[in-house]
Structure 1
């Protein structure tokens, strides 16, 4: 009788409290070496930290935001990238936006901070606010453009960013057609499944988010719900053969939540990449 009571009442309650109170406030840090013969000497051991899908709002307090930024800085990144969906409803939470901006401005990265639009940044009034908002805290927002990141010895890698594929106006050919096969080329794009449109170009490393890792996963089953343009690639590192050279894709599980303030077996994630030749 006691066992039946535990199964029917206690276990669901504990699961609910864990998914609502504990896991969304935890943080997983994943470390990955990115090995590629195109990485120049000046970028050996350079550290990139990716965060994504913060969905700042009522379910993500400024205390959590400060802890996130402190953790990013503790990792001592050379480059920081944000792959979209900063605020859940960008047109709302005006007072919270300002406080969040103050916190984000504290992120340090000597070789630069880069960001792209996500669908939540384009929607809900964010399309006219997000770029300036991020630039004011030191991020370069890449909208269908490519920049060179230069090391002290003159070596460089490239970083490109595509506009959001759901609500923006991405221009794949215009953005990627001038990439050189001999360079190490990074691409930021919010939705991971668009990689099929990228394989014709010499991209070495694509960083994406959007999926939340499913946000809710079940043991032995995996994500019970995936989202548009994040059905095939849901989390972690993938190796894919492109038309010009191999491409690695990393899909970050994101930090915040959307639709429902739950996470289950899909912890918020900071991704750390070390570049190696």
Structure 2
């Protein structure tokens, strides 16, 4: 988005919020961004082994630490995630807002270490992770935090003798995503979940043997005005903005998180931040 378009959107958003009253403006800036919700989704498939029945995957995304989101808030988020007792945790990009200006310290590493997931913690790059010379910095921090990077590759999640496949792509906007490379060697008979930051990539994913795509990036628009809709959604989050979609003929299941933090505009209105808890449900006959 160019500077002129951004300023127009900023002006429109501010006028819309102020126009509905000073209390609304205060709520959008100071209250709603802290009203974290826990979105629960059940994913059912015959391809999911019985062993993984009730297996829980926690997704958090777009924390944008440093832009109206603090380390203390991130620590509270970690506690909330751990209370859900997930088996596996995935982070779908944009850890800090501006990596080149962020005051990196061990506190954020310790917060990541404190996230508990017995079957693994995984992450992918978002556009802000690559932006601001953050590629290597963010990678180092996430590795120290115990997270495994999925960048055009995949990992096999095993439980007893059963498995499913967790695939991750490089960021679509600023990276070099390669879904063919990521799926190399993946048996299409195994249940396959793809992590990709930008949700609109689903229109490409639908042509590959992937069962579920999990994304962020959109922030759910951050500001939703009644009878008008989203004030702004970023590039590659304009078609699929929040919630659950069925894409293509398979169909591919797509889940888009509203994320945690804010960027560009320090507001959320009718668009609460969220983490998502996915519970796998095997419909395989015993």
TM category (shorter chain) comes to: over 0.9
Mapped pair 1:261 → 2:269: no
The match for 1:123 is 131
The match for 2:57 is 48
TM-score of the two chains, using structure 1 as the length reference? 0.92
- 90, 93, 98: which one aligns with 1:84: 93
After TM superposition, the structure 1 = structure 2 runs for residues 55-134 of structure 1, keeping only pairs within 5 Å, are 55-95=64-104, 97-134=105-142
After TM superposition, the structure 1 = structure 2 runs for residues 166-205 of structure 1, keeping only pairs within 5 Å, are 166-205=173-212
Moved more, 174-183 or 21-30: 174-183
- Cα deviation code 1:165-192 (max 9, x no counterpart): 1100111212124332211001000000
Mapped pair 1:206 → 2:190: no
What is the deviation of 1:197?
1.4
After TM superposition, the structure 1 = structure 2 runs for residues 219-258 of structure 1, keeping only pairs within 5 Å, are 219-242=226-249, 245-258=250-263
What is the deviation of 1:10?
9.5
Contact 2:202–2:247 under 8 Å retained in 1? no
The secondary structure found in structure 2 opposite 1:147 is: strand
Q: 1:184 to 1:224 in 2, by over 3 A?
A: same
Contact 1:73–1:108 under 8 Å retained in 2? yes
The secondary structure found in structure 2 opposite 1:123 is: helix
What is the deviation of 1:11?
5.0
What is the deviation of 1:202?
0.9
* Aligned-residue RMSD, C-alpha: 1.6
Count matched residues.
266
What is the deviation of 1:62?
2.1
Distance 2:184 2:146 in 1: 27
Distance 1:220 1:39 in 2: 40
Distance 1:30 1:221 in 2: 24
Structure 2 portions without partners, runs of 5+: 1-17
Distance 1:155 1:221 in 2: 47
- Cα deviation code 1:41-96 (max 9, x no counterpart): 1111100110000000041122211110000000000010000000001122224x
The secondary structure found in structure 1 opposite 2:114 is: coil
What is the deviation of 1:133?
1.2
Q: 1:10 to 1:207 in 2, by over 3 A?
A: closer
Contact 1:177–1:201 under 8 Å retained in 2? no
After TM superposition, the structure 1 = structure 2 runs for residues 142-161 of structure 1, keeping only pairs within 5 Å, are 142-151=150-159, 153-161=160-168
What is the deviation of 1:246?
2.4
Distance 1:114 1:129 in 2: 17
Distance 1:170 1:10 in 2: 42
The match for 2:15 is none
The match for 2:12 is none
TM-score of the two chains, using structure 2 as the length reference? 0.89
The match for 1:276 is 281
